[in-house]
Structure formats: C-alpha cells, structure tokens
Structure 1
C-alpha cells in the first residue's frame, strides 16, 4: 500500500553499510529524506546520488538527513556507495521497500531520461554495473519524514529516473517550515 502525506511512516531500525544505526522516526533531525533506489550498480541511481552528494552541505543546512536504501547486499553497495556523504542501507530482502509500498515495473526502463542519466554516470564514473541484484525493474521513491515520523511529502517514481531533484527537496522542506498564514480578516463594509 502506498503512503500519502500525513500518514505515519513505518518505523525503521537498520544499519548503514558502514555499521551506523539508522532509526526512523529520528527526533535528532528536522526531516529525513528517505530515498528508495534500485540495485547498487544502477547507473541512473548513482548519477542521481552523485548530484545529491555534491549539494549535501546545502541539504544538511536545511535540516534534512538523507538515508538511501538499495535492494542490494551490503557487499555490493560497498563497491558503489561507500564514498557517499549520507547514510546508505542495504535491503536485499526488500523489507523496507515493501513497508513503504515501493514497487517494480517493466516501465522502469521505458523513458528516454533513463538512458541519458545512465550514460552520464557511466561517462563520469567510467564504470558500468556488473550485477543487478533483485532485478532491473525497480522504481525509485522519495519520502520526506518529520521528526515525529509523519510523511510530509512523497513521490513514487514512474520510471527509473523519476525522483526529487535537490531543488525540489529543499523547496518541500522550506514550504513545511513556513507557518500557516491565517486568512485575512475583512472589516465590515461601512454604509455609504
């Protein structure tokens, strides 16, 4: 079942690929950006995370902690995600993918953006994936979860390259931090 804004996110107790504990909800962070990506060697996912990593300081300054899940083993993830500046979690059994309603689809690869993003990562990293644990048809998903564990915003990708960009993430967090404005009070009309 897919989640929607306002829903309580499933609780998570996991460890990163470096052995650091991850718990959601996380009362130490204003927000947690949960990213569900595909397999560890996915060139589309890795190009996206490369761009996220370049702007990590800006994301952290906005009070957002990033946690990225892959449906791959820890060993496979260490080959590709070990250097990323945010927490990465191996979920080869797809336990957390299932809890958050993240699916697979043969349409994951049927968008021209998928090919272009994958090619850019291959050219930038000069690597190509060798193993697609749990298949190549995974879809991405993004969730912004507040300190109480409530889903503030979410996006279920329609194809492999359908995810929040950094600007969208920062805008969502900024929007949530703005106090709700009261409706203007209208003065009663004066008789003429």
Structure 2
C-alpha cells in the first residue's frame, strides 16, 4: 500500500540530547533516503570549487537501516568524476541521525549528520546538518531528488525555515548557503 504524499515543510532543530525528538517532526523512513540525490545548495566550502555533486544512499544487504554512502562530484574545470565512499549507521537514541565512517583511505574519517527537514514537493527534497570534522566545518546541505533541482521559491522557503530553527549555530548557517553548479 502506498503511503499518502506529505505536503508542507517539516523541520526540527538538530538533536543533541539522548532520546531528543521534536514532537512536530515526522522523520523520514530510511526508504525515503535511498537512491540518488542532487546536492543543490550547501554551506560546505569545498563545493564552491566543484560541480555536479550527488549523494547516493543504498541500504546494506545485511541491514536495511545501515546505508552505503557514495558522494560523487567533478572539479569545476575537469571532467574527472571523484568519489567519497562511506557507511552511515543510524543513531541509537535519535531518529534520522547517522554516524558516517569513510571507506578505504578515508576510514580514519568520521562524521555525524542528521535530517533537519524534508518534503515531497517538487520530487522530494531534504535538508541535512553535518557536524564539523577534522576536514570540514559544520554545515547544511539541501538535496533534491529531481534533476534540475528545486524551484527558487521552494529554496527560499527552505532557507527561511533553516533561519527559523531554534538552534543558533544552525540558523546562522542559513545566511551562508550557496547554490552548487550542476550541468543539467
């Protein structure tokens, strides 16, 4: 049976306390995360010199809740496609939170991220917040399932919702969101 399509913006502040959960936030099911996403907007400085950023989540065969995480992108002035591979393990205490661990030479790298907002308008979208690591500052990303991204109106609404999140660090990040170049 298909679930009814959600409408409206659905956001929460980042979860920091054990078991914390916003009463109004309806977290996405892991199946919503699965598949390819276009990262259309971000605060992560490294995306300013790259383009065509995508993230693909695939459930592992032995555990549907654990996700294989593949980030692909191209430098602005190159056709070479680069990859960052990792595994996302769901947080034990809070829904829609994950611990990322790199694969290969990035095995030493780890990060924590979570879904702050999501919706099914315009072919699905999602906002993630990631904590700082040895290599990156904390930030937010806006994902779109649809090639071509989201309408400027929806991006403006999402950005305004991020500004209104009751967490000073996150709401401040909304002022630094920039579009990522894609060759649609």
TM interval, shorter chain, is: under 0.3
Q: TM-score, normalised by structure 2?
A: 0.26
Higher relative contact order structure (alpha carbons within 8 Å, sequence separation ≥ 6): 1
Q: Max radius of gyration: which structure?
A: 1
Q: TM-score, normalised by structure 1?
A: 0.26
Greater share of residues in helix: 1
